[in-house]
Amino acid sequence: MTAPHIAINPSILYFGTPVVLLTTENADGSANLAPISSAWALGQVVVLGLGAEGQSARNLAERAGLVINLPAPHQWEAVERLAPLTGRDPVPASKPAGCRFEPDKFGAAGLRAEPSDTVRPPRVAECPIQLEARAERVGEAVSGGFVIVEAAVGKVHADPRLVVPGTDHVDPAAWSPLIYNFRHYFGLGAELGHSYRSQTPREAVAG
């Protein structure tokens, strides 16, 4: 039986998407690092939604390289340490109260930068999956105050423990994203089933 729905007006619509730690390059060549959750894949392109006045959006409008680093659930506190920080100085008025400028985001988060192979911004060494990419299109979002970035992924790095041996498949039973669910952090529960399009060998995910 379905309960009758009620109409509500939530202040945010973040219905549970994976957290990304985005690295971009500042004008002086240093790295910026920012948590985002508005990210989804279309083939080999990842679409990102960014606040237009943040340092990440500003960097991508000027320098195309980026890395989409995917943290695991246990890393949520490092993500949250980055939440009140911006790489933009002075801090734009549109940022929430309590937001402060931090030039060393890696140090503030307690994370380690690792050189990338194909782009200038570094990878986050502790993140099990890292996607090196280039922003091919940076455009204004209809909602105003946001930009939409289409980033073409050129190289994928994965912790070998997450890869089905001898294949290019990420083992979905071994990998778990960190989910941002209405501003709260969650991991995944147990597998419920799989898509008819899954190509991962079943023995890899059994048990």
Ligand X SMILES: Cc1cc2nc3c(=O)[nH]c(=O)nc-3n(C[C@H](O)[C@H](O)[C@H](O)COP(=O)(O)O)c2cc1C
Q: Which residues bind ligand X (CB under 6 A)?
A: 19, 32, 34-38, 49-51, 54-56, 79, 83, 85-88, 99, 180
- Closest approach of Cβ 154 to ligand X, in Å? 22
- Closest approach of Cβ 117 to ligand X, in Å? 23
- Closest approach of Cβ 206 to ligand X, in Å? 32
- Residue 107 CA: distances (Å) to CA of 10, 34, 59, 78: 35, 13, 20, 10
d(CA 50, CA 162) in angstroms, rounded, equals 29
User: Which residue, 8 or 13, is less far from ligand X as judged by CB?
Assistant: 13
Other beta carbons within 10 Å of 128: 21
- Closest approach of Cβ 66 to ligand X, in Å? 11
User: Which residue, 13 or 190, is less far from ligand X as judged by CB?
Assistant: 13
- Closest approach of Cβ 89 to ligand X, in Å? 10
- Residue from 70, 73, 167 nearest 123 by CA: 70
User: Which residue, 146 or 175, is less far from ligand X as judged by CB?
Assistant: 146
Rama region for 145: left / alpha / beta (φ>0; ψ in -120 to 50; rest)? left
User: Which residue, 88 or 123, is less far from ligand X as judged by CB?
Assistant: 88
- Residue 132 CA: distances (Å) to CA of 49, 116, 118: 17, 7, 7
Name residues whose C-beta falls within 8 Å of residue 196's C-beta, 6 or more positions apart in sequence. Answer: none
d(CA 60, CA 149) in angstroms, rounded, equals 8
d(CA 201, CA 71) in angstroms, rounded, equals 24
- Closest approach of Cβ 35 to ligand X, in Å? 4
User: Which residue, 53 or 159, is less far from ligand X as judged by CB?
Assistant: 53
User: Which residue, 78 or 153, is less far from ligand X as judged by CB?
Assistant: 78
